[in-house]
Structure formats: structure tokens, C-alpha cells
Amino acid sequence: MRQIVLDTETTGLNPRTGDRIIEVGCVEIRNRMLTGNNFHRYINPERDSHEDALAVHGLTTAFLSDKPKFAQIVEELRAYVDGAEVIIHNAPFDLGFLDHEFRLLGIKPFSAHCSRVIDTLVNAKELHPGKRNSLDALCDRYGISNAHRKLHGALLDAELLADVYLAMTRGQNSLTMEVDVEAVVAGGLLDTVALAEVCVVRASADEMRAHEALLDGLDKQVKGTSVWRAYAQEKEIAPGT
């Protein structure tokens, strides 16, 4: 299975009012392994970024002025994602910009070139309802270091999201009790784990007599009723169980 984790940075929030993509970052996963075959391009949007957007990504108009326009990288991007499963956090935002850029060039929408799109924000809300599910929050939840993330960057965020996605979808991979019970229950994994048949071996009559003799000795030592006999009486444990 070939999967592409994708993120973009933009000049603002709305492609319908003229905002454009300024950075695309992609990370390739094959059979749940990072391959290192990544795709990263800065893009000249031919316009300034909004002040709020600039504070998020830090990519100035001067820095982007000599970068290729989207039309110059679109064929590379299309070939890179062709037929792959694309993973995006808050997919409607990135897809809105990508589809807009493709339409401006008279090309079918971006999603038409990949097999399907997975929105990790939707997945995270299903696994962790009522909790914060931003990329930073998910990194904290799954123990993924994002200390180097001072500003948003498409490739950096795609790399972090790839780690988050693999952690979110790894299932039960441990035989210890150190598992995220909430995630297991929410993900429905408990319903899919086949339990071994429980084998009940009852004590024999000789074993029960030996057990009673042991309890008698404990009662004698404490000069009353031992905690073991008191517990058995309280729980009304039947002989031989």
C-alpha cells in the first residue's frame, strides 16, 4: 500500500478570495514504513500573505519571489500522488486550495488523481471525542516530539502527521498492560480480539480437605477467623471453586 501524508501552507484562509498555496510538503509511506521519498516545494503565489498567515508560517513575499509558480510544479505533484491514498489533517482546507489551483490550470480536481483521501482530524475526533485534536495535541497524546516546530511548515507538519497517523492506526502491539485503554475501546479493537477458551480446573476432594486444614491452622494462629476464611465467607465462595 502506498500512502502520501500531505500538508500545505497558504497566503490566507480562503482560495475564493484570491488566497494561494505557497508550500506543499508530502511524506511517502509504503506498507506502514516511511520511505524517505518525500516531495517538497515552495511556490510563488504572486501575492502577499495575510499578516495572520505570515505569523504562522513565516514565508515572506521576498523569500517566495524567486520560487516556481504552481503551474510549474503541478505535474510533479500530480505524478507523485497518482493512485496513492492521501492522508491530510483537516482535509477540506487543503483540498479546497489544491482543487482551486488545479481548476485554475484546467485540470481535474486534486482528489481525482489519488485513490482516496483520509482525514486524520475526523479519525482523531472518533478516537478521542471531546478532546483537543490539533496536530500539536495529537503529538502530545502519542508521545511524538514537536519541540522543533517553532513555525508551521508543510514538510515538517507532514512528517509529524505521518508519525501521528502510524501511532493512531497501530492497534494493539503489546502484550503488556501499558496500552491506551480509551483508544482501544473507542477504536473497537476489543471486539476484534479473539479470546482463548477459558479452561476451569476444579479442586479435588483431597485438595479441598487440605485447604480446609490449612485454613483451620490459620484460624488457630490468629485465635479467631483468618482473613482468608472471612473473605471466602463474605463472597460465599462455594467449595471446589
Half-sphere exposure of 136 (CA within 13 A, CB side): 6
CB atoms within 10 A of CB 25: 22
Express each pLDDT in 158-217 by its tens digit: 999 999 999 999 864 433 334 444 444 444 444 444 444 555 667 788 778 877 877 777
Evaluate whether 53 touches 89 at the Cβ level (below 8 Å): no
Residue of 166, 151, 213 whose CA lies nearest to 3: 166
Residues 6+ apart with CB under 8 A from 196: none
Q: What is the helix, strand, coil percentage profile of the chain, to 5?
A: 45, 15, 40
Whether pTM > 0.85 for this model: the answer is no
pLDDT tens digits for range 58-109: 999 999 999 999 999 999 999 999 999 999 999 999 999 999 999 999 999 9
Round the average pLDDT of the chain to a whole number and report it.
85
One-letter amino acid at 67 equals K
* Dist CA 73 CA 43 (whole Å): 8
Chain-centre distance of CA 135, in angstroms? 9
Determine the Cα–Cα distance for residues 177 and 200; give it in Å rounded to an integer: 23
C-alpha grid cell for residue 143? 508521545
Q: Which residues are catalytic?
A: 152
Number of residues assigned to the chain: 241
